[in-house]
A and B are shown apart, each in its own frame.
Chain A
Amino acid sequence: MDLAVRVDERDGWAVATAHGDLDLTTAPRLREQVIDVVVGGQPCVVLDLQGVDFVDSTGLGVLVGLLKRTRTHGGDLRLVSSRTGLRKAIELTSLDLALPRYDNVDAAIGAGHPTGG
């Protein structure tokens, strides 16, 4: 299955909503799309993965890379997903402290803005 990503603006955040599978084949595309947003001047990104059915180790690696990229630019990356598969994969790779997850986009944005605004 392919991956579709849509990016919207909301309350000073870029909200990227993904649907499909995030794997070895599709993860590079997500990375490119989010990096375009960051380099374009919006380093505060919410990544809504609620519609993503599958994430593999390459997908997790891309999430780590994007977290670092957004923070380097003074922003943050917040993941939205309540799905068991992603939680388990994050725990098994010891990424649970680095990649906190929120249940919905409102909770991710409501946790405060990295620029203090």
Chain B
Amino acid sequence: MIHLEIPPRSDHLALVRRVVAAAAGIHAVLTDRRIDDLSLAVSEACANAIDAQRSTGSTEPLGIVIELEPGGVVVTVSDHAGGFSPDEVDPIPAADDPGRLVHERGLGLPLMRGLADAIAFTGTPDGTDVRIEVEAAARH
């Protein structure tokens, strides 16, 4: 298990992606394409966490835990922003909906859901844990 802590600042996102990709690469269970999926999903989770902590004024570091499992890699991102419910986020319109282009933000959740094989949001005493699972063989 690999633990990483970063300040809640967007200029650390590239570092997180590289650490996740390097850890998954050493593990040698995921293909390069699946490692890209994992890196992007984790980067989105961290970007959301940074955004959420900025809005609550928390400067606590974000926690990132990487678990190398026999069938894949699990990454958990922990923030200290007081809690969040993914169900309260408006869904984006379909590709052929003329209103689609109004949505320049809010793309992170659909991306994370599409890239990960499993994703879970769990409330903690002072924030949210986002658990992202990518398997060697994609479920979709």
Contacts and interface: CB of A to CB of B under 8 A. Distances in A.
Interface of A: 1, 21, 23-25, 54, 56-58, 60-62, 64-65, 67-68, 84-85, 88-89, 91-98
Contacts of B40: 54, 56, 85, 89
Contacts of A95: 95, 100
A98 B47 contact: no
A107 B23 CA distance: 38
A94 B104 contact: no
Contact of B101 (A23, A56, A64): A64
Contact of B95 (A58, A61, A97): A97
B7 interface: no
Given A54-B40, A85-B40, A92-B110, A23 B100 contact: no
A57 B10 contact: no
Interface of chain B: mostly helix, strand, loop or mixed:
helix
Contact of B96 (A60, A64, A88, A97): A97
B101 A67 contact: yes
A92 B101 CA distance: 14
A54 B101 contact: no
A78 B108 CA distance: 23
